[in-house]
Amino acid sequence: MRLSSLLLLSLGTFSIAHAETAIISPQSDQTGVAVTIYNEDLALVKDSRKLKLNNGLSALSFRDVSAQIKPETALLRSLLPNTSLQVLEQNFDFDLLSPQTLLEKFVGQQVSVIKTNPTTGAETEETATVLSAQNGIVLKIGNRIETGFPGRIAYPNVPGQLRDRPTLTTQVQYKGAEQASVELSYLTGGLNWKADYVAELSSKEDTIDLSGWVTLNNTSGTSYPNAKVQLVAGDVNRVREAIRPKTMMMRSEAMAADAPMPTEQGLLEYHLYTLPRTTSIAENQTKQVALLTAQQIPARKELVLTGADYYYQGQYRDVEKKQKVQVYVEFENKESSKLGIPLPKGTMRVYKKDSDGTAQFVGEDQIDHTAKNDNVRLKLGNAFDVTAERVQTDFKNLSKSNNQVPLYESAYAITLHNAKKEAVTVNVQEPINGDWKILNESQPHKKTSAHQATWKINVPAESDVTLKYRVQVKY
């Protein structure tokens, strides 16, 4: 008998044997499934099924549950009135049928080794004992020991502890109608989501068009057909535990954004987003669903030169060099700015059209969960045509004349170079620790925080402007 026939016979025997001892509920029994997905590899699954259930004590096996189910969180309840369902015991069988696990279960037992003559095509069969299945296979055939696969291996049956799909088996005490309706809910790993945003900057760099996408990843070991999907944005506290490694590949599938957007509501101190229609999340799949769209959101570009607090504690030659001027884009998450909805954390990618009308990528940044009426500030990169050169022109250590209290005086000249054909404004932000004061300066500063001085420097087109200042710092 060929291996395929042996396996089909053994699988059929396996299914019948288990059907005699347990009521098996396949995924086709599902009447509905709802999935609430959190940010950090966690989801709540609610799986509703209709099945025939005997009164009294029964074993009930749920096939196609998540392979990363947290069994201690499983809750089974009856959905029909005038029924009672009590769970007495439950077991999660995740030892799945595969060539390797089947081989491991037969260590110390006999199997058949089938060889094919490469010339005649004739098959011969020998009985072998499996000695080891670790890092390869070791067989005893007659009086000899062989390693590797000398041919096809045929097994007489499938061990009862192996399952072809993840299965949760419960022992229940039931009272009610024979046609039962139950709901199994549980927490699982292997499901997560993130937000991705695409922002297109206008030609004048004063507005953006924003679209958001939800990316769903499913490596949980099962699929969720026609599921009601909800997403929780926020940092939910969890007791940390080891998560089983993920080794499965994912495929990509995108959904069009021409349908109603997800709705949003508060949930404790988090935000809950509900997708407008059911969607199927296949096993080992990445899926994208439209989250939001907004046009002509007022925005502003900002050029920033940032210093360092250690500049004011000593003499530093290393700062006498060209420094990068950073490019930021900022906008307000307000209704008056044509937005005003809670934004889940994610990556925001910014594009701008070139002279040919082709959108070009100009930078990206990560945003945190952003509440309504908060600002979104994106660092896009460093300016090419606007640079800075910083020179320390003087330094004095005044500690000796101040009873050993650390007291320093520093003077700097910062030259801003603008190679563009239009004027720019550069915000020079200097972090200064300790008790500080500006003794003199070529342009007025603003104390933007207890430890920061800021200058707004206008630099004409194709010109240079030098900012000079002297600061005294006491630590």
pLDDT in tens, 94-135: 566 677 777 787 888 888 888 888 888 888 888 888 888 888
Determine the pLDDT at residue 162: 61
Q: Which helix (H) or strand (E) holds 364?
A: strand 359-367
Among residues 186, 182, 194, 256, the alpha carbon closest in space to that of 221 is found at 186
Q: What share of the chain is helix, strand, coil (3-state, %, to 5)?
A: 10, 55, 35
Q: Is the Cβ–Cβ distance between 292 and 199 less than 8 Å?
A: no
Band (pLDDT 50/70/90 cuts) for residue 295 is very high
Which has more pLDDT, 243 or 325? 325
Report the length, in residues, of the chain: 475
Q: Is the Cβ–Cβ distance between 286 and 213 less than 8 Å?
A: no
Res 380 pLDDT > 70:
yes
Determine the pLDDT at residue 244: 43
Longest CA–CA span in the chain (Å) reads 104
DSSP secondary structure, 141-184, as one string: ETTEEEES--SEEE-S---TT-BSS-EEEEEEEEES-SEEEEEE
Band (pLDDT 50/70/90 cuts) for residue 19 is very low
Q: Is the Cβ–Cβ distance between 325 and 382 less than 8 Å?
A: yes
Band (pLDDT 50/70/90 cuts) for residue 168 is confident
Range of lowest pLDDT (29-38, 150-159, 285-294):
150-159
Q: What's the rounded Cα separation, in Å, for the pair 381 and 383?
A: 7
Query: Residue 125 CB: number of other CB atoms within 10 A?
Result: 12
Q: Of the CATH numbers 2.40.128.50, 1.10.10.60, 1.10.490.130, 2.60.40.290, which one belongs to the domain with range 300-340+375-474? A: 2.60.40.290
Residues of the chain with CATH 2.60.40.290: 300-340+375-474
Q: What is the mean pLDDT of residues 269-279?
A: 82
Among residues 251, 254, 250, the alpha carbon closest in space to that of 198 is found at 254
pLDDT in tens, 45-76: 999 999 998 899 999 888 888 988 998 899 99
Place of tokens 């109603």: 260
Determine the pLDDT at residue 76: 93
Q: What's the rounded Cα separation, in Å, for the pair 164 and 186?
A: 21
Q: What is the mean pLDDT of residues 254-272?
A: 59
Joined tokens for residue 400: 């000796």
Q: What is the mean pLDDT of residues 87-92?
A: 86
